[in-house]
Amino acid sequence: MEEPEMQLKVKKVTDKFTESMYVLANEPSVALYRLQEHVRRSLPELAQHKSDMQSWEEQSQGAIYTVEYACSAIKNMTDSSIYFKSIDSLLKHAITIKDQLNTAQG
């Protein structure tokens, strides 16, 4: 065989081999394998993050409930100032009547 003819055949063989390797490396099943490999490696960490987030959400909900309950209690105390004023005036009136009774008896 002549040298140029041999080089042409070798080039054809290497081109076909390169094309086959390219197709094989980029085959969808290889891509799916890589995707599965990635999911398998990252899934435990993602599951842990999800668990942490759920725990933080529960703690946050508890804190929000506590704050809302405290705000409601303070609002009720503020609203009850009318009753305290009424009690104060009744006590002053009772003290005045008691003083009048004491002076009437004495």
Domain that residue 21 falls in: 1-105
CB 30 within 8 A of CB 24: yes
The low-confidence residues of the chain, meaning pLDDT below 50, are none
pTM across the whole model: 0.45
User: How far apart (Å, rounded) are the C-alpha atoms in residues 31 and 29?
Assistant: 5
Number of structural domains in the chain: 1
pLDDT at 71 (0 to 100): 93
Q: What is the DSSP string of 15-82?
A: HHHHHHHHHHHT-HHHHHHHHHHHHHHHHHHHHHHHHHHHHHHHHHHHHHHHHHHHHHHHHHHHHTHH
